[in-house]
Amino acid sequence: MSKLKAKAGAKKAGKAGHAGAALDHSPSHLLHRALQLALDIYAEETGPDAVTQRQYAVLSAVAAHEGLTQTDLVRATGIDRSTLADLVARMIGKGLLARQRSASDARANTVSLTAQGRTALDEAQPKVAAADERILQLLPARKRDAFLAVLREIGQTEAEPEAASAEAKPKKKKKDKAPKLEKVAKLKTDKPAKAAKAAAKPPEKKKKAKKLAEPIGAA
């Protein structure tokens, strides 16, 4: 009985080890675990009453470049457009940001820090710096610069698939239009031929009518 239990336990351990080995080679899983660890460290260092990590990113981006539009913030923070719109609206409601009409584009709105937003950013900066330092200390010093470089590279290429798909859409439309243009051109070339054929028929009918009329005249 004990041998059977040991065999079953070894089998389960083997399956778990195989699953773990697969996850150890999964970039999405590894990034998710690293993100969860980073967020836990951020929460520990900043406390429950501080701004969230995303709110801090928005405050930092706006502080660096006053008068950013929502599109500018999407590029600067990497937060998707719909999430950012809700986030900015909540931050305006909390008095951290103010919204104004853009002076260069009447269709766009820009955001700026309020006095309360500036205070929140100033209070959060040393705490966020401590969280970042704790995260980097998880790695040997010689690997930290390479780690940051890889993260930047991944973040910068995030928007490329969207741009590629946006460029591909007009091309598909052009391909769809090509058969229609060929069909229209074919109809245009067929019309003169049909007109010429139709124009050639009446003289034949007249000739036949003339032949039929000749015997009657002779009688």
pLDDT tens-digit profile of 53-105? Answer: 999 999 999 999 888 888 899 999 999 999 999 999 999 999 999 998 877 66
What is the chain's Cα-based Rg? Answer: 37
Report which secondary-structure segment, H or E, holds 100. Answer: strand 97-101
pLDDT band at 195 (very low <50, low <70, confident <90, very high): low
50-158 CATH fold: Arc Repressor Mutant, subunit A (1.10.10)
Match 């002779």 to its residue by tokens.
218
- Specify the pLDDT at position 218: 46
What number of residues does the chain have?
219
Q: What percent of the chain shows pLDDT beyond 90?
A: 49
Give the range with max mean pLDDT: 43-57, 144-158, 177-191. 43-57
Instruction: Check residues 167 and 155 and name the one with the higher pLDDT.
Output: 155
pTM of the model: 0.62
Q: Which amino acid is it at 101?
A: R
Among 49-53, 83-87, 106-110, 213-217, the least confident range: 213-217
Average pLDDT over residues 160-172: 46
Domain extents in the chain: 50-158, 169-219
Least Cα distance to 135 among 144, 122, 125 occurs for 144
- Specify the pLDDT at position 186: 59
- Specify the pLDDT at position 181: 56
- Specify the pLDDT at position 5: 59
- How far CA 66 is from CA of 20, 58, 59, 191, in Å, comes to 46, 11, 10, 64
Instruction: Check residues 105 and 7 and name the one with the higher pLDDT.
Output: 105
CA distance 151 to 139: 14
Report CA torsion sign: 85, 89, 95, 100.
positive
Burial 180-213 (b: 16+ CB within 10 A, else e): eeeeeeeeeeeeeeeeeeeeeeeeeeeeeeeeee
CA distance 39 to 44: 9
- How far CA 102 is from CA of 67, 106, 111, 163, in Å, comes to 8, 6, 9, 25
Do the bridges between strand 68-69 and strand 97-101 make them parallel or antiparallel, or are there none, so unpaired? unpaired
CA distance 186 to 10: 73
| Residue 164 confidence (pLDDT) above 50 | no
CA distance 199 to 19: 81
As given in the structure block, the two tokens for residue 81 are 């457009």
Judge contact between 85 and 97, C-beta under 8 A.
Answer: no
CA distance 219 to 216: 5
User: Which tens digit of pLDDT belongs to each residue from 12-48?
Assistant: 555 555 666 889 999 999 999 999 999 999 999 999 9
Average pLDDT over residues 161-166: 44
